[in-house]
Amino acid sequence: MNKVSFFRSIHVKFVIIYVLLILVAMQIIGVYFVRQLEETLRTNFQNSLKERVNLLAYNVVEEMEKKRTPEDPTLEEEIRKILRDFESADIFEVRVIEGETRKIVGTSDPNQVVVGQRDTNLRITQSINLGEDLSSILIGNGGHRIWVLSTPIKSGNTVIGAIYLEAKIENVFTQMKTINRIFATGTGIALAITAILGILLAQTITRPIVDMRKQALAMAKGNFSRKVKVYGQDEIGTLAVTFNNLTKKLQEAQAMTEGERRKLSSVLSYMTDGVIATDRKGRVILINDPAAEMLNVSRETVLSQPIVSLLGLTDTNTFEDLLEEKESLILDYSTKKEPYILRANFSVIQKETGFVNGLIAVLHDITDQEKIDAERREFVANVSHELRTPLTTMRSYLEALADGAWKDEDIAPNFLEVTRTETERMIRLVNDLLQLSKLDSTDYRLNKEWVNFVDFYHRIIDRFEMAKEQNVSFNRELPTHAIFVEIDEDKMTQVLYNIISNALKYSPEGGQVTFSIKEEEEKVIVSVSDQGVGIPKENIGKIFDRFYRVDKARTRKLGGTGLGLAIAKEMVNVHGGMIWAVSEEGKGTEISFSLPYEQTEEDDWS
């Protein structure tokens, strides 16, 4: 932590910036100087050799154009004498090549092995063909750089040969390394001196700033008694005097506002409703914690934000509309997954003169209330619809009987059977509603006892297998060992009855219903699967809602009330478990529910 604070110090930053500026300046100067010096040394080296090569070319031309007698020395001997005078410590080798035959007529190499041989060097060929100097820097065998030059030998405008030169240019780069080393040493010495001077200079600037920082920290803690020492009459000294005056005024202002702040803080802290206050332009100046939680925002980020933007009313309302709003506004922040509704009441803050100072908004979370109202309306509508359908059917058939159909021995029994069926359906509906009402009551109690769930499940399945009318086979995938679960046997019977009844209703002729139990670490999972028409993916999550039917016409035809799975869900939840469905259209549906389960040794139950 101290290390981090050290690097955050303005004193250290000032010294670092000062040193970095000097370093950058010296580096820029150094790079430019070194680059220019290297270019100059390399150019001088190359120009010096080129001048010597030009002089050599002049002498070679005279010898190549000279008419010789048998008594005169050969061209190779003359050129060898000339090249002997051309030898230098910076030169590896110089060759003279005849133009037409590309034959080497002379070399500075003492061995003279290559004299008379044809030279196939591409650079020499290009130089002769183009009549231009060609040069480049290559890496030699020892890793040293050499400069290669190929110069055409011209007689007038005709190229009659070429001079090939290999020179030691590594010495130039060695000199540059020495110069760079000297420059780096000088830079280091200069930086050390600069750092010392920077520290001394930074102290004169940062000392009063450090004092003002300490005073600011003390003020943040509520201590207004300290004074900043004034070191001079410059700009920093003036800033110190102004800082001391500011401290005095803040001390006076704090005494005046502290009482008001405490009063307001106390009021807002004990309010459960969300409160938002704005200035006269509609910008948020205050928001309490409940309001921030309701809107899922941070208090620091919403300050100075327009209230219409904060509440999401930009497209529908302006701040002036809110000032004139007399009734509550409903703010719907619901998503597809979860409803969320707030009610906002607005109150204008005005002076006695009528000048508007701002606006107070009070937020109430009415999500649960709206949800309950919606469920109540839906429940009433569903119950009314479910009762009206059989009552309408019964009235129609009873009116027909009253009109004389009771005399027809063929029709009357059918009408009476339909009336009896609809009556039984209404009785089942009322019984299911009473059952749900008991489950919703707070004083609902379960009569739990430990039951071997495998045997219990077998008994339920046996009952359905004996009473089934359609051609549906049963497949039992149940454990052979006992699984003891604490349940209300009557209520769990009803859960399984509702689930298995649905599986049988929607199973096709020749289909199969599978019953299974799976043990997990802290729960047991009971499943019933069929091979029916299945449930669309978008409807799976709704099948446990009250009065919800995937295929309403078929469900009514089969005598369902739409409450069976809803009752099963409530009873499973009361037992501390969960219920869910997995389905695929055209292949079938699997209804599963879990029950709390503690694995116990069988000996404990013996």
In CATH terms, the fold of domain 10-175 is Beta-Lactamase (3.30.450)
Q: What average pLDDT does the chain have?
A: 78
Instruction: Give the helix, strand, coil percentages of the chain, each rounded to 5.
Output: 50, 20, 30
Cα–Cα distance measured from residue 480 to residue 121, given in angstroms and rounded to the nearest whole number? 95
Question: Which CATH number is associated with domain 271-365?
Answer: 3.30.450.20
Question: Which pLDDT value is given to residue 65?
Answer: 75
User: Is pLDDT of 515 > 90?
Assistant: yes
Angle between helices 235-269 and 170-220 (to 10 degrees): 50
382 touches 399 (CB < 8 A)? no
458 touches 590 (CB < 8 A)? no
Cα–Cα distance measured from residue 352 to residue 359, given in angstroms and rounded to the nearest whole number? 15
Helix H or strand E encompassing 136: strand 134-139
Please provide residue 60's backbone torsions phi and psi, each rounded to the nearest 5 degrees.
-65, -40
- Opening angle at CA 523, ends 522 and 528, nearest 5: 165
pLDDT digits (tens, 9 = 90+) for 87-133: 777 787 888 888 878 888 888 877 877 887 888 888 888 888 888 88
117 touches 103 (CB < 8 A)? yes
User: Is pLDDT of 370 > 90?
Assistant: no
Cα–Cα distance measured from residue 68 to residue 217, given in angstroms and rounded to the nearest whole number? 102
Alpha helices in 270-366 (DSSP H): 289-295, 299-302, 307-310, 319-323
Question: Which pLDDT value is given to residue 2?
Answer: 47
**In this structure, CATH architecture of domain 449-605:** 2-Layer Sandwich (3.30)
Cα–Cα distance measured from residue 486 to residue 600, given in angstroms and rounded to the nearest whole number? 13
Higher pLDDT: 461 or 268? It is: 461
pLDDT digits (tens, 9 = 90+) for 535-587: 887 777 777 776 666 554 444 444 455 677 877 888 888 888 888 888 888 78
Range of lowest pLDDT (256-270, 504-518, 578-592): 256-270
Contacts of residue 588, Cβ cutoff 8 Å, sequence gap at least 6: 529, 530, 531, 532, 534
Domains 10-175 and 271-365 share a fold: yes
User: Is pLDDT of 330 > 70?
Assistant: yes
Highest mean pLDDT among 6-10, 35-39, 592-596: 592-596
Q: Provide the 3-class DSSP secondary structure of residue 308.
A: helix
Angle between helices 75-86 and 10-65 (to 10 degrees): 150
Question: Which pLDDT value is given to residue 28?
Answer: 84
Burial class (CB in 10 A: 0-12, 13-18, 19+), 380: exposed
Cα–Cα distance measured from residue 597 to residue 369, given in angstroms and rounded to the nearest whole number? 36
Q: How confident is the model at residue 436 (pLDDT cuts 50, 70, 90)?
A: low
162 touches 150 (CB < 8 A)? yes
Cα–Cα distance measured from residue 277 to residue 310, given in angstroms and rounded to the nearest whole number? 12
Burial class (CB in 10 A: 0-12, 13-18, 19+), 180: middle
Angle between helices 564-574 and 489-505 (to 10 degrees): 150
Q: Domain map of the chain by residue range?
A: 10-175, 230-269, 271-365, 371-440, 449-605
Span 147-153, average pLDDT: 86
Q: How confident is the model at residue 428 (pLDDT cuts 50, 70, 90)?
A: low
Span 369-394, average pLDDT: 66
In CATH terms, the fold of domain 371-440 is Helix Hairpins (1.10.287)
Angle between helices 367-402 and 412-440 (to 10 degrees): 160
Question: Which pLDDT value is given to residue 5?
Answer: 52
What pTM did the predictor assign? 0.38
Higher pLDDT: 234 or 181? It is: 181
pLDDT digits (tens, 9 = 90+) for 14-71: 777 777 887 888 778 878 887 888 788 888 888 888 888 888 888 887 777 777 777 7
Q: Provide the 3-class DSSP secondary structure of residue 166.
A: strand
Q: How confident is the model at residue 603 (pLDDT cuts 50, 70, 90)?
A: very low
pLDDT digits (tens, 9 = 90+) for 479-499: 988 899 998 888 888 888 888
Sheet of strand 341-350, all strands in order from the earlier edge strand to the far edge:
284-287, 274-278, 356-365, 341-350, 329-332
Contacts of residue 20, Cβ cutoff 8 Å, sequence gap at least 6: none
Range of lowest pLDDT (213-217, 360-364, 561-565): 561-565
Please provide residue 107's backbone torsions phi and psi, each rounded to the nearest 5 degrees.
-150, 150
Look up tokens 């079938």; give the residue: 588
